[in-house]
């Protein structure tokens, strides 16, 4: 419909959460800029990046919020999660504590995020095979029990980074497009309740027919 | 989530513009009261069939499906507005009879809501909020009657003047434009918490004490509740536009010499500190003068702390200071406490340029002025009282600041030469002691650290008070100093005397009043200046904007306040630092988040064109979070 926004069809907000030092910022920079920095500093507050990908012929723009893992660097706002449709909960496969803390991050999502948010559990640093502290199967089972998607990645050697984001964005897209099918076409689109139509002169019978959502 | 321009289903109900995201969703109110809105077709946009709904707080661009629908919407909205006015005038709430129930057409929506609150609170809590606000506002002296005509039960307010108005007078205020008066409905509008604070600091008694200080009915006839529009307009024009009844400050005309303004500051300091301070003060080389880059003009006062008068500063811009006048107020008991106030006095005099002053020890001090309402600005206890003392000739505004933290402000005064110290001047006490004893050369530094640590490490200190006679300041300087004291009534007085809200204080680092206000940490002071046309992006001598200052000092609430008004994020100071770089260096997560979010929002807007604004909701949510926190629970923002 518009002229300027046909760059993308959907815009999804995705948050990256997890303990300090698990590699959230590097996952983000690998995905959005194909960069990796061994000596990256702690994130302070929040950082943003965007990237568009194609799913099902549609352009999806991901707006990714990379949040500080360290408590003292986190801003006091629940708005981190507001409007987020996806979350990557990241842990370090070589540090068991970061995996144990996933529970805490899930609780934070339950407390602040939309209940329908799509969550993916991400075991990062899969290149550190010799230091592995969290068996893949254990994490996988945990993810299944909690209805999370699961993947192991390495921001360092790029393994699965693309897939992780691609998968979660696809899942979000599925949820969203299904929702649209449910409540778009002609099943009672006018606000259902007791709304009467007013006539304003000069009136050409006010349009009651609603069409599905803007398909820009 | 549907890209930049989501479709919403709109309808008009009970004079409200409401929408749903989906057919089964609950209604969301976009505009609470259409009477406050203006509807404008927008034929020139690069989207078709658009019109704008403009309310006091924000603007929405809506796009209809066709030209006809667009026209119908504009007509329907206008019809609904005029209907709402009619029903309101006939005094009955039967809006939902014929018109109020809405037409519903589909429209594509919603862009560019600059500022303003999102809706979605339950109407219940909304109402109670309104009720509390009304009670608070009407409890202020004078506010139960219209500030201009005296009509009972005013329901409107001018938020930049700080008074309440009846609907008729508010209409006239509006007709003069927002640069003169920014009108809000007490009951219908959404209010930013800091705007309410501004109102609570002023009030009709204060406003009329200033704007009706010298009424001359030969200029205009006083408006009464039953006056016609012409009389009201004449009165309000004379009162605010021509400022015909404002009693001139001596700084403006020298004729009125007995009009005395004092700003009293209260500081806390331990007796031990006092001695240390005295050392610094009596040390050779006049540390203070050095620190403030006005060498050699400070006359030392006697260490016993008697009232002193000082002339200084050949560089002064101020014309009013040739005579030394002792105001003598509170001179009854002077004790050793005055040593420190003496010190502070000296600082003030240097920063302020030439002026006359007097000071006393505890005089009327102590708890004397603690009667004001405590509104806890940004975590700083802030008590202010406004006394118009008897006698038409001598009027004194007493302002009492209980300030543990804001002495930082004084640091800044001292800190002209070394701006990079400003974020690290809370050094440990040991350094002070050494510098104190070594005196002399290190003087400027010691005076500075002294001051801050004096505050930091002695919360139980006795109070001392210093007085400053402002009687001869020119209005610009008066405004500037009143900002430092967070004294809104005096600020209003200065503005009524045509003080320039963007005056540059060359004697204080080239700062403008808004910078001075930012340094105090008071959101109400900042808000009041911003409402009165203070510019956001002026730079001081160090190239720093108000946003830089707020960031350096870690004043989250004010960062938020400035960003809401779209302060320039990319402004660089003389060391090429942006506010974000400073915030990252200071590891201030909240401010970093606010700055990055604002920047991100800006970038999204740029790349999407101004119609699309996907980050906008979150942006506003976060900023509202922080505004509310800064206003209601400032302690939450204090970390570390």
What DSSP line would sit under B295-346, residue for residue? TT-PPPPPTT---------TT---SS-SS-----TT-S---TTHHHHHHHHH
- Complex ipTM > 0.85: no
Interface test with B, best of A59, A196, A201, A202 (most B CBs within 10 A): A196
Q: For B182-208, write each residue's pLDDT tens digit.
A: 999 998 888 888 999 999 999 999 999
Minimal Cβ distance to A68: which of B104, B589, B618 = B589
pLDDT of residue A184: 52
pLDDT of residue B21: 67
Of the candidates B233, B238, B195, the one whose C-alpha atom is nearest the C-alpha of residue B215 is B238
Of A33-47, A152-166, B470-484, give the range with the top mean pLDDT.
Answer: A152-166
**Residue B226 predicted with pLDDT over 80:** yes
pLDDT of residue B609: 55
Give the three-class secondary structure for A49: strand
Interface test with A, best of B19, B71, B103 (most A CBs within 10 A): B103
- Sorted by sequence, the CB contacts under 8 Å of residue B607 that are 6+ apart come out as none
A71/B401: higher pLDDT? A71
Q: For B49-89, write each residue's pLDDT tens digit.
A: 888 888 776 777 888 878 888 888 888 888 888 777 766 55
pLDDT of residue B616: 61
**Residue B354 predicted with pLDDT over 70:** no
Tokens of B186: 């007490």
Are A79 and B13 within 8 A, CB to CB?
A: no
Report the alpha-carbon distance of residue B607 to residue B204 in Å, rounded: 47
Q: Which of A169-183, B133-147, B235-249, B334-348 is least confident?
A: B334-348
CA atoms within 13 A on the CB side of B522: 34
pLDDT of residue B390: 35
Are B597 and A3 within 8 A, CB to CB?
A: no
Kindly report the nearest CA distance between residue B622 and chain A, in angstroms. 6
pLDDT of residue B309: 37
Residue range B600-617: average pLDDT?
A: 66
**Residue A154 predicted with pLDDT over 70:** yes
Q: For B102-142, write each residue's pLDDT tens digit.
A: 333 333 333 333 333 333 344 556 677 788 888 888 888 89
**Residue B491 predicted with pLDDT over 90:** yes
Residue range B393-406: average pLDDT?
A: 38
What DSSP line would sit under B513-558, residue for residue? HHHHHHHHT-HHHHHHHHHTT--S----TTS--HHHHHHHHT-HHH
Q: Is residue B539 a contact partner of residue B530, using CB atoms and an 8 Å limit?
A: no
Minimal Cβ distance to B3: which of A5, A74, A85 = A5
**Residue B3 predicted with pLDDT over 60:** no
**Considering only CB atoms, which chain A residues are within 8 Å of B1?**
10-13, 83, 85, 176
Kindly report the nearest CA distance between residue A131 and chain B, in angstroms. 32
**Residue B387 predicted with pLDDT over 60:** no
Q: Please, is B635 exposed, middle or buried when counting C-beta atoms within 10 Å of its C-beta (0-12, 13-18, 19+)?
A: exposed
**Considering only CB atoms, which chain A residues are within 8 Å of B640?**
72
pLDDT of residue A214: 52
**Considering only CB atoms, which chain B residues are within 8 Å of A75?**
589-590, 592-594
**Residue A212 predicted with pLDDT over 90:** no
Q: Which residue of B has its CA nearest to A73?
A: B589
Q: For A8-44, write each residue's pLDDT tens digit.
A: 888 899 999 999 999 999 999 999 999 999 988 999 9
Q: Which of residues 80-109 of A touch B (CB under 8 A)?
A: 82-83, 85
Place of tokens 């009108």: B183
Minimal Cβ distance to A10: which of B2, B589, B592 = B2
Are A48 and B609 within 8 A, CB to CB?
A: no
Are A183 and B23 within 8 A, CB to CB?
A: yes
Average confidence score pLDDT of chain A: 84
Confidence of residue A194 (pLDDT cuts 50, 70, 90): very low
Confidence of residue B6 (pLDDT cuts 50, 70, 90): low
Q: Is residue A195 a contact partner of residue B13, using CB atoms and an 8 Å limit?
A: yes
Are B7 and A3 within 8 A, CB to CB?
A: no
Of B214-218, B321-325, B357-361, B382-386, give the range with the top mean pLDDT.
Answer: B214-218
**Considering only CB atoms, which chain A residues are within 8 Å of B23?**
183, 187-192, 210
Q: Burial letters for A61-80: b for 16+ Cβ neighbours within 10 Å, e otherwise?
A: bbbbbbbbbeeebbbebebb
Give Cα separations from A142 to A92, B247, B343, B594 (angstroms). 15, 76, 67, 35
pLDDT of residue B410: 30
Of the candidates A186, A169, A188, the one whose C-alpha atom is nearest the C-alpha of residue A177 is A169
Confidence of residue B608 (pLDDT cuts 50, 70, 90): low
What DSSP line would sit under B188-238, residue for residue? TS---HHHHHHHHH--HHHHHHHHTTT--TTTSPPP-TT--HHHHHHHHII
pLDDT of residue B33: 76
**Residue A107 predicted with pLDDT over 90:** yes
Report the alpha-carbon distance of residue A146 to residue B245 in Å, rounded: 72
Strand partners, B59: B54
Confidence of residue A80 (pLDDT cuts 50, 70, 90): confident
B526/B40: higher pLDDT? B526
Strand partners, A11: A61
Q: Which of B167-181, B253-267, B461-475 is least confident?
A: B253-267
Confidence of residue B471 (pLDDT cuts 50, 70, 90): low
Kindly report the nearest CA distance between residue A203 and chain B, in angstroms. 7
Minimal Cβ distance to A79: which of B6, B609, B621 = B621
Confidence of residue B505 (pLDDT cuts 50, 70, 90): very high
Percent pLDDT > 90 in chain B is 32
B350/A85: higher pLDDT? A85
Interface test with B, best of A7, A10, A11 (most B CBs within 10 A): A11
Q: For B520-530, write each residue's pLDDT tens digit.
A: 999 999 999 99
**Considering only CB atoms, which chain A residues are within 8 Å of B105?**
206-208
pTM: 0.62
**Residue B561 predicted with pLDDT over 80:** yes
Average confidence score pLDDT of chain B: 66
Tokens of A78: 């629940």
Report the alpha-carbon distance of residue B498 to residue B521 in Å, rounded: 25
A96/A180: higher pLDDT? A96
Kindly report the nearest CA distance between residue B481 and chain A, in angstroms. 33
Q: Is residue A39 a contact partner of residue A87, using CB atoms and an 8 Å limit?
A: no
Q: For B229-266, write each residue's pLDDT tens digit.
A: 999 999 999 999 999 999 887 766 543 333 344 444 43
Q: For B572-599, write each residue's pLDDT tens digit.
A: 999 999 999 999 999 999 999 999 999 9
Are A189 and B9 within 8 A, CB to CB?
A: yes
pLDDT of residue B287: 34
Are B1 and A9 within 8 A, CB to CB?
A: no
């Amino acid at each position: 419909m518009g002229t300027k926004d046909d760059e993308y069809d959907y815009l999804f907000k995705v948050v990256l959460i997890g303990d300090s030092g698990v590699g959230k910022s590097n996952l983000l920079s690998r995905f959005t800029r194909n960069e990796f920095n061994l000596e990256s500093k702690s994130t302070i507050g929040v950082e943003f990046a965007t990237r568009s990908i194609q799913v099902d012929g549609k352009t999806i723009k991901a707006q990714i919020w990379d949040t500080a893992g360290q408590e003292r660097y986190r801003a006091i706002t629940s708005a981190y999660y507001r409007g987020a449709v996806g979350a990557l909960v990241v842990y370090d496969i070589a540090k068991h504590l970061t995996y144990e803390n996933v529970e805490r991050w899930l609780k934070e999502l339950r407390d602040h995020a939309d209940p329908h948010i799509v969550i993916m559990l991400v075991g990062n640093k899969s290149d550190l095979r010799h230091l592995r502290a969290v068996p893949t199967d254990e994490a996988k089972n945990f993810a299944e029990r909690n209805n999370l998607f699961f993947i192991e990645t390495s921001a360092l050697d790029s393994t699965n980074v693309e897939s992780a984001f691609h998968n979660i964005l696809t899942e979000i897209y599925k949820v969203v497009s299904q929702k649209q099918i449910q409540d778009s076409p002609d099943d009672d689109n006018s606000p259902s309740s007791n709304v009467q139509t007013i006539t304003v002169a000069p009136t050409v019978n006010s349009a009651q027919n609603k069409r599905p959502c803007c398909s820009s | 989530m549907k890209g930049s321009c989501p479709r919403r289903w709109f309808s008009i109900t009970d004079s409200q513009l409401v929408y749903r995201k989906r057919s089964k969703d609950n209604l969301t109110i976009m505009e609470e009261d259409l009477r406050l809105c203006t509807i404008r077709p927008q034929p020139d946009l690069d989207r078709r069939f658009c019109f704008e709904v403009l309310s006091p707080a924000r603007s929405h661009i809506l796009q209809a499906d066709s030209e006809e629908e667009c026209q119908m919407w504009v007509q329907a909205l206008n019809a609904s507005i005029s209907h709402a006015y009619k029903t309101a005038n006939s005094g009955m709430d039967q809006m939902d009879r014929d018109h109020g129930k809405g037409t519903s057409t589909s429209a594509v929506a919603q862009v560019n809501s600059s500022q303003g609150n999102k809706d979605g609170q339950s109407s219940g809590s909304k109402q109670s909020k309104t009720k509390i606000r009304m009670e608070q506002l009407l409890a202020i002296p004078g506010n139960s009657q219209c500030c201009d005509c005296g009509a009972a039960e005013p329901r409107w307010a001018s938020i930049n003047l700080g008074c309440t108005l009846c609907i008729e007078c508010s209409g006239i205020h509006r007709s003069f434009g927002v640069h003169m008066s920014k009108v809000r409905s007490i009951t219908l509008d959404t209010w930013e918490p800091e705007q309410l604070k501004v109102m609570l600091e002023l009030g009709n008694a204060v406003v009329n004490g200033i704007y009706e200080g010298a009424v001359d009915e030969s200029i205009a006839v006083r408006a009464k509740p039953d006056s016609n529009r012409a009389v009201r307009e004449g009165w309000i024009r004379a009162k605010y536009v021509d400022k015909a009844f404002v009693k001139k400050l001596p700084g403006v005309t020298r004729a009125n010499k007995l009009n005395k303004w004092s700003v009293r500051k209260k500081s806390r300091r331990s007796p031990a500190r006092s001695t240390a301070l005295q050392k610094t003060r009596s040390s050779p080389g006049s540390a203070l003068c050095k620190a403030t880059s006005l060498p050699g003009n400070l006359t030392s006062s006697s260490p016993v702390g008697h009232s002193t008068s000082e002339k200084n500063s050949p560089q002064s811009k101020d014309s009013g200071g040739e005579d030394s006048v002792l105001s003598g107020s509170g001179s009854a008991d002077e004790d050793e406490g005055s040593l420190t106030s003496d010190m502070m006095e000296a600082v003030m005099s240097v920063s302020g340029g030439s002026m006359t002053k007097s000071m006393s020890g505890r005089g009327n001090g102590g708890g004397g002025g603690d009667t004001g309402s405590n509104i806890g600005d940004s975590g700083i206890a802030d008590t202010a009282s406004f006394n118009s003392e008897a006698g038409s000739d001598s009027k004194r505004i007493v302002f009492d600041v209980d300030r543990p933290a804001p002495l930082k402000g004084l640091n800044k005064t001292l800190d002209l030469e070394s701006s990079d110290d400003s974020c690290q001047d809370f050094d440990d006490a040991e350094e002070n002691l050494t510098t104190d004893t070594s005196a002399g050369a290190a003087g400027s530094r010691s005076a500075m650290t002294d001051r801050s640590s004096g505050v930091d490490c002695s919360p139980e200190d006795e109070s001392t008070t210093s007085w400053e006679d402002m009687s001869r300041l020119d209005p610009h300087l008066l405004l500037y100093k009143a900002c430092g004291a967070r004294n809104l009534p005096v600020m209003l007085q200065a503005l009524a005397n045509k003080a320039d809200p963007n005056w540059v204080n060359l004697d204080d680092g080239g700062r403008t009043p808004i910078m001075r206000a930012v340094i105090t940490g008071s959101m109400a002071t900042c808000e009041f200046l911003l409402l009165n046309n203070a510019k956001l992006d002026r730079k001081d001598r160090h190239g720093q904007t108000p946003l830089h200052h707020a960031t350096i000092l870690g004043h989250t609430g004010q960062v938020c306040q400035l960003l809401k008004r779209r302060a320039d994020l990319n402004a660089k100071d003389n060391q090429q630092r942006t506010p974000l770089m400073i915030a990252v260096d200071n590891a201030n997560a909240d401010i970093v988040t606010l700055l990055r979010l604002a920047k991100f929002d800006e970038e999204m807007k740029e790349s999407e064109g101004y119609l699309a604004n996907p980050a906008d909701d979150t942006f506003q949510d976060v900023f509202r979070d922080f505004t509310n926190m800064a206003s209601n629970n400032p302690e939450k923002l204090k970390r570390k």
